[in-house]
Amino acid sequence: MSWVFVWLLLGIISTLVFVVFAVSLGRHAVIIGRTARRFREEVGPPAAELSRDGAAISDRAQGLGVPGGTERTERTEGPGVR
């Protein structure tokens, strides 16, 4: 058996393995894409509703004069205070 034949056979086998891996990777990318689209379709409407509710609550709190909550007051009593 000639060394050229051995190298040719090794090249063909490694190319076939690479093609199989590439096809497998492509199939997995399609599956992940479908899953992400389905997740977005199922989670999108409730998330949008929560976002709208949060904006409405924030607007209402500003109208009532409630501070934005960025400042924290120091607790002097209660659980966890040492």
| pLDDT value at residue 28 | 97
Give the whole-number percent of the chain exceeding pLDDT 70. Answer: 77
* More confident position, 66 or 2: 2
Find the range with the poorest average confidence among 27-31, 32-36, 46-50.
46-50
Instruction: Check if the beta carbon of residue 57 is closer than 8 Å to that of residue 64.
Output: no
Per domain, the residue ranges of the chain are: 1-59
pLDDT digits (tens, 9 = 90+) for 45-58: 888 888 888 888 88
* More confident position, 72 or 14: 14
Instruction: Check if the beta carbon of residue 60 is closer than 8 Å to that of residue 54.
Output: no
